[in-house]
Amino acid sequence: MIRIVGRQSRTEKLRERRAVGDIMESLGISDERFVCLLNGTPVTRDVEVSPEQDLLFLEIFSGG
């Protein structure tokens, strides 16, 4: 399961094993604007994700 949380939140299904970077590109997610957590642990673009795992993209907000 893929969850994207930010200004616009949505959920997607992962159908096959893929690298985080490939998923980000297909969903139009920038690694400069989002933090990626796999089963609650931060991961990099090269990590492989299988459909039964929980992949969460959290949008980074800043302000003052």
Task: Please count the structural domains in the chain.
Answer: 1
The answer on pLDDT for 64 being more than 80 is: no
The answer on pLDDT for 59 being more than 90 is: yes
Q: What is the mean pLDDT of residues 18-46?
A: 95
% residues pLDDT > 90 (the chain): 88
CATH number of the domain to which 18 belongs: 3.10.20.30
- For residue 50, the enclosing domain spans 2-59
pLDDT at 23: 96
Are 9 and 59 in contact by the 8 Å Cβ rule? The answer is no
Sort strands 10-12 and 2-5 into parallel, antiparallel or unpaired: antiparallel
The answer on pLDDT for 7 being more than 70 is: yes
Are 5 and 58 in contact by the 8 Å Cβ rule? The answer is yes
pTM for the model: 0.89
Indicate the SS3 state at residue 34: strand
**Residue 64 counted as domain residue:** no
